[in-house]
Chain A
Amino acid sequence: MAHCHESNIKIDLPEHGRKIVLAGNPNVGKSVFFNAFTGMYVDVSNYPGTTLDISFGRYGEDIIIDTPGVYGISSFNDEERIARDVILSADIVVNVVDAVHLERDLFLTQQIIDTGVPVILALNMMDDAGRQGIKVDADLLEHLLGVPVIETIAVKGIGLEKVKNSVNKAKIGIVSHQDLQNMLIKMKARVASQGEALLVLEEDPIIAERHGLKPAKHREDIYLMRRERVNDVVGHVISEVKEGIDIKTKLGRWMIKPITGVPILFVMLYLMYQAIGVFVAQTVVGVTEETIMIGMYEPFMRGLVSRFVELESALGLILVGEFGVLTMTVTYVLGLLMPLVVGFYFFLSGFEDSGYLPRLAALTDRLLSMVGLNGRAIIPLILGFGCVTLATVVTRLLGSVRERRIAIFLLALAIPCSAQMGVIVGMLAGLGGVYLTLYVVVMVSIMAIVGTLLNRFLPGKSSDLLIDLPPLRLPRMENVLKKTGIKSYGFLKEATPLFAIGAFIISVMELTGLLKALQNFLTPLTVGWLNLPKEASTAFVMGIVRRDFGAAGLSDLALDPLSTIIALITITLFVPCIAAILVLFKERNKKEAAIMWFGSLGIAFLVGGIVNKLTGMFTNDITGSWFAISVFIGMAGVTSILVRIRKKPQVKNVSQEG
């Protein structure tokens, strides 16, 4: 049986079949080609160790494999590593390029050609190029690259058939430079193929290690040769570039400039809130969780289990009790999480395909750089408001371990997930402006203070933003829905076992009395330090089971407004739900996860207590709240100033060394 072992995903290949790989930069329309080749029969498989999925399907005797959109193949990130492995194992590569961005796209094309694999080039978005006054001489491009070039407008179906029928005409193209050719011939003698030889020469540590070689230090030379060659080719084939700014370019700029970008962001967030926070969280979840899961599924499950197991027995409770693996987990995952996760991924996919996401990253970069992150971290932070467990997994896209640590901790600490936020918003709504302000200010200041301090004291350096701003395009619904489906499924598949293990742990804690003991342990803190009734500690502990349980528990206590806010602040900062804790342990090592867990627990009670003491200095709760608000804003301000003062000399040293 043949399978592609290099890419770690097993695909059965028919006897005479070939592997046809689709490759290209992000958002060049690859998926339309993939659909044209494979039709309905598509398989998706997770690429081990990543959140990324690879789609593959059949085309006659052959297999078509899609790859993530990349600008080059190397080991800079997960997408590139996957694209590299899949391309190196290809028999034929169909390379889709954006005719408007040939300078950028042909770099990957030329790199693929340099691997020595037969290539066919789809010169896509010819209509866009035409509109922007760009003329591309496709025949000359074919001649210069040495591979067949076919003009296409994929979204309109133009040229797709021709590409499909021309796969057999794919050719091995002309290598970037004669010097590279010579280097490749030498290196090829030591490794399996020209493609691997190229990557060893380009300092790819993983490919070099596979062959027990040290990566050769030639990446920059080769990249520059290739860049020069691509610029030369582009210079020959492109004519009549019309300068000028169209409305899409203008809109793209507005998205980045704070003065217009922030209002645009608020409009987007408002749309998300209406769609996810109101429609999905209330209407859809009302049906899926209440009516279907709790109303129909859970009684059915209990009835089924009761035939074999005593419901009141330990096993019965673990399976279908209050926190049952077969009841609570399934209800939570399918009834509540699934609609929310689908909603969030729908927006994220739309933002991604439209080109808004990189602009959002540019807009928020400055703010996030204060806490040691860069603009890219906006993606997990937004997703955190959907589900912290999901967002923690998504932090894998960040550039360094340091950034992951900061983002994961901030997510665990201060971002309320949608389940919890529903209850919190409900409780805040009746309290009036000053209390709402107090809650928001405390949350934002804590994020700022903790983030700033982590950035100051964690060793290392965070990566800087360097991001391509693709042209804005109207996202294609079909593509957005497909992405939403694939990503939501991938997440639920990964998270469901965590929620099940979480429910099991909670049931065991309940049965052994540990849950009660934890509540008793927290009682003195709750009563003495936070000035809350002792029942509030039950709500805190329930927050570990499901964050919304905890918040909902508070609303039953009939607290006065100030106590409500103190309780809400504490419970938001308090440890995330058990699934998020488990994912913390899965994503980071045990020690680090434990530090984060106890850290957020400590900070929650510390901050709740500080708010209690500050407001308690005044007999009037309103005055006390304003005082606490000023103190928290002041603390955030002082922290950022102190950190800057202390950091300055260090910066100087670095620049002197450089």
Chain B
Amino acid sequence: MVLADVKKGQSFKILSIPNEIVRAQAIRFGIAEGVIVTCDEMIPAGPVIIRKSKQEIAIGYGLAREILVEAVG
């Protein structure tokens, strides 16, 4: 499953992030591969808003389609 497929309120584990620059930026925000995050908001065909404790980030749809995730809980 990719990040673009998750539903609002769902928690999931990040399996892989494609681009190394994006990966580095995500690690800075605390969102590394293997981390469990929650989808706070899902704009139809638009960005996915994910949250880890108090940290929220918006990820564009194109990128969200390339990030592999796995549902948890």
Query: CA A362 – CA B32 in complex, angstroms?
Result: 21
What residues on B are CB-neighbors of A107 within 8 Å?
27-28, 30
B 5-58 contacts with A by CB, 8 A: 18, 20-30, 32, 40-41, 43-47, 49, 52-58
Query: CA A465 – CA B56 in complex, angstroms?
Result: 13
| B30: contacting residue among A104, A253, A258, A374, CB under 8 A | A104
Judged by DSSP, the binding face of A is helix
A 48-87 contacts with B by CB, 8 A: 71-72, 74, 76
What residues on B are CB-neighbors of A231 within 8 Å?
30
What residues on A are CB-neighbors of B41 within 8 Å?
253, 256-257
In chain A, what residue has the closest Cβ to B51? A469
Contacts known (A104-B29, A227-B30); A465 close to B53, Cβ less than 8 A: no
Query: CA A231 – CA B31 in complex, angstroms?
Result: 11
B28 touches A223 (CB 8 A): yes
**A132 contacts B by Cβ under 8 Å:** yes
| A365: contacting residue among B30, B56, B60, CB under 8 A | B60
Query: CA A467 – CA B25 in complex, angstroms?
Result: 10
What residues on A are CB-neighbors of B18 within 8 Å?
658
Contacts known (A219-B24, A253-B40); A467 close to B57, Cβ less than 8 A: yes
B13 vs chain A, min Cβ distance (A) = 15
B28 touches A362 (CB 8 A): no
What residues on A are CB-neighbors of B20 within 8 Å?
219-220
Contacts known (A256-B43, A469-B49); A103 close to B27, Cβ less than 8 A: no
B43 touches A465 (CB 8 A): no
What residues on B are CB-neighbors of A363 within 8 Å?
43, 46
In chain B, what residue has the closest Cβ to A261? B43
**A375 contacts B by Cβ under 8 Å:** yes
Query: CA A658 – CA B43 in complex, angstroms?
Result: 26
B43 touches A104 (CB 8 A): no
B21 touches A76 (CB 8 A): yes
Contacts known (A103-B52, A227-B27, A227-B30); A465 close to B40, Cβ less than 8 A: no
What residues on A are CB-neighbors of B57 within 8 Å?
466-469
| A362: contacting residue among B49, B52, B55, B66, CB under 8 A | B49
Tally chain B residues at the interface, Cβ within 8 Å.
Answer: 34
**B71 contacts A by Cβ under 8 Å:** no
B62 vs chain A, min Cβ distance (A) = 5
B11 vs chain A, min Cβ distance (A) = 13
Query: CA A464 – CA B63 in complex, angstroms?
Result: 6
In chain A, what residue has the closest Cβ to B45? A366
What residues on A are CB-neighbors of B28 within 8 Å?
71-72, 104, 107-108, 223, 227
Contacts known (A71-B29, A464-B62); A366 close to B54, Cβ less than 8 A: no
Q: Which of A71, A132, A468 has the most CB of B within 10 A?
A: A468
Query: CA A292 – CA B70 in complex, angstroms?
Result: 66
Query: CA A253 – CA B56 in complex, angstroms?
Result: 11
B4 vs chain A, min Cβ distance (A) = 11
Contact with B along A293-310 (1 / 0, CB 8 A): 000000000000000000
What residues on A are CB-neighbors of B40 within 8 Å?
253
Contacts known (A224-B27, A464-B63); A362 close to B53, Cβ less than 8 A: no
A465 touches B55 (CB 8 A): no
What residues on A are CB-neighbors of B56 within 8 Å?
252, 468-469
Contacts known (A101-B55, A375-B60); A465 close to B47, Cβ less than 8 A: yes
Given contacts A104-B29, A361-B58, 9 further A-B contacts (CB under 8 A): A71-B25, A220-B20, A223-B24, A365-B60, A366-B43, A369-B61, A374-B60, A464-B22, A465-B58
9 contacts between A and B (CB under 8 A): A104-B29, A256-B43, A256-B47, A362-B47, A365-B46, A369-B60, A465-B60, A466-B22, A466-B58
Report A's interface with B, CB cutoff 8 A.
Answer: 71-72, 74, 76, 100-101, 103-104, 107-108, 132, 134, 219-220, 223-224, 227, 230-231, 241, 252-253, 256-258, 358-359, 361-363, 365-366, 369, 374-375, 464-469, 471, 658
